[in-house]
């Protein structure tokens, strides 16, 4: 069945400038970390992407190792992109990353120029694209000189394989050093993608200040703590939830779902009700309330979750008393 996008898709979405660049991103972006692999129904993947674009979500975020098996999310996205969004490529911001183990041997992991260039070439083939809009180094490499990793990102832009580059999970000092190197090379660091949510607030300890001072955007992932900041676990761990399926494989930390965290989520849920929101909507609103946050990455296992998440945009202002209550709950 052919797809015709919603003609009013840009009317209700908020778009924010990404740092000091000319690029605007939707306040809510779609990440394809989960639910887009070969183990997932392709028609459900298609429905999620269509629903997102119809709602004004123009940014789709991937990585070389997304999906089960690794790489399948990019392959499935590429298949849907060319069947449904071929005429709308210039309306989309597509990102990918490399930095985690992707293939055997010494050249399939971390941050060498060899790995990053090769990985992006593979990603472009999987998605059947000439370029991505944003390419990230996915995590810091303690053994490769940062100058080499940043030179690889600069090279990728000069080769025309990416329009912009970014970093993910870099600490504040690493972020400043990476930004300085890229600036000197002539390819500014566009954006940082850190983990950030009510339960994991490490970026408040200097990273947000670094991002702002370096003129970079910020797009947090895991804003719902892999489902902990939803009503999913308020009565325990459902048999088919992400926690039950993925504990210990990197999707959720093994100690994430505890009696204490569930009790805190329950108290946050009561505050969300007072705000006229679900816990998930309030958690997303809490992330994007900060003007230094360009966009927030959501995931979805079905199209309806897109609509539900986007309701966070109707109320992301917090009274001082609400913020005090949240901090007391999380203390």
Q: Which domains does the chain have, with CATH numbers?
A: 15-230+286-315 (3.20.20.100)
Read off the pLDDT band of 247 (50, 70, 90). very low
Joined together, the tokens standing for residue 104 give 């055997």
Residue 243 predicted with pLDDT over 60: no
By DSSP bridging, strand 24-26 and strand 15-17 are antiparallel
pLDDT digits (tens, 9 = 90+) for 86-107: 999 999 999 999 999 999 999 9
pLDDT digits (tens, 9 = 90+) for 94-144: 999 999 999 999 999 999 999 999 999 999 999 999 999 999 999 999 999
Residues 6+ apart with CB under 8 A from 161: 120, 121, 124, 130, 131, 132, 135
Read off the pLDDT band of 232 (50, 70, 90). confident
pLDDT, residue 255, reads: 63
Give the alpha-carbon dihedral of 193, 197, 200, 204, to 10 degrees. 70
Q: What percent of the chain has pLDDT over 70?
A: 94
pLDDT digits (tens, 9 = 90+) for 269-317: 999 999 999 999 999 999 999 999 999 999 999 999 999 999 999 999 9
pLDDT, residue 259, reads: 87
Q: What percent of the chain has pLDDT over 90?
A: 90
Q: Tell me the average pLDDT across 230-239.
A: 77
Joined together, the tokens standing for residue 57 give 């979500």
Indicate the average pLDDT of the chain. 94
Dist. CA 13–CA 27, nearest whole Å: 7
pLDDT, residue 236, reads: 67
Dist. CA 307–CA 288, nearest whole Å: 17
Residue 242 predicted with pLDDT over 70: no
Joined together, the tokens standing for residue 47 give 């429905």
pLDDT, residue 1, reads: 73
Which is it for the CA torsion 199, 203, 209, 212, positive or negative?
A: negative
């Amino acid at each position: 069945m052919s797809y015709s996008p919603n003609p009013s898709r840009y009317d209700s979405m908020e778009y924010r400038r990404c740092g000091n660049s000319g690029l605007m991103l939707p306040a809510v972006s779609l990440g394809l970390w989960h639910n887009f692999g070969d183990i997932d129904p392709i028609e459900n993947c298609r429905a999620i992407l269509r629903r997102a674009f119809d709602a004004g979500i123009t940014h789709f975020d991937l990585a070389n190792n997304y999906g089960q098996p690794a790489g399948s999310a990019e392959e499935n996205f590429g298949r849907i992109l060319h069947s449904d969004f071929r005429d709308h490529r210039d309306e989309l911001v597509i990102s990918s990353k490399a930095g985690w183990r992707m293939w055997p041997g010494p050249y399939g992991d971390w941050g060498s120029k060899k790995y990053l260039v090769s990985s992006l070439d593979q990603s472009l083939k999987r998605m059947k694209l000439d370029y991505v809009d944003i390419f990230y180094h996915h995590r810091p490499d303690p053994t490769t000189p940062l100058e080499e990793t940043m030179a690889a990102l600069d090279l990728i832009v000069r080769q025309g394989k990416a329009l912009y580059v970014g970093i993910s999970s870099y600490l504040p000092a690493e972020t400043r050093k990476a930004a300085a190197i890229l600036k000197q090379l002539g390819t500014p660091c566009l954006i940082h993608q850190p983990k950030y949510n009510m339960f994991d607030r490490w970026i408040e300890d200097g990273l947000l200040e670094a991002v702002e001072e370096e003129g970079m955007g910020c797009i947090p992932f895991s804003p719902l703590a892999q489902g902990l900041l939803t009503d999913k676990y308020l009565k325990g761990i459902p048999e088919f939830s992400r926690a039950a399926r993925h504990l210990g494989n990197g999707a959720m930390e093994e100690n994430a779902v505890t009696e204490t965290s569930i009790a805190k989520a329950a108290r946050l849920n009561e505050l969300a009700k007072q705000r006229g929101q679900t816990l998930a909507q309030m958690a997303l609103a809490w992330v994007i309330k900060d003007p230094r946050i360009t966009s927030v990455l959501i995931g979805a296992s079905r199209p309806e979750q897109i609509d539900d998440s986007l309701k966070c945009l109707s109320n992301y202002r917090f009274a001082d008393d609400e913020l005090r209550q949240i901090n007391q709950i999380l203390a």
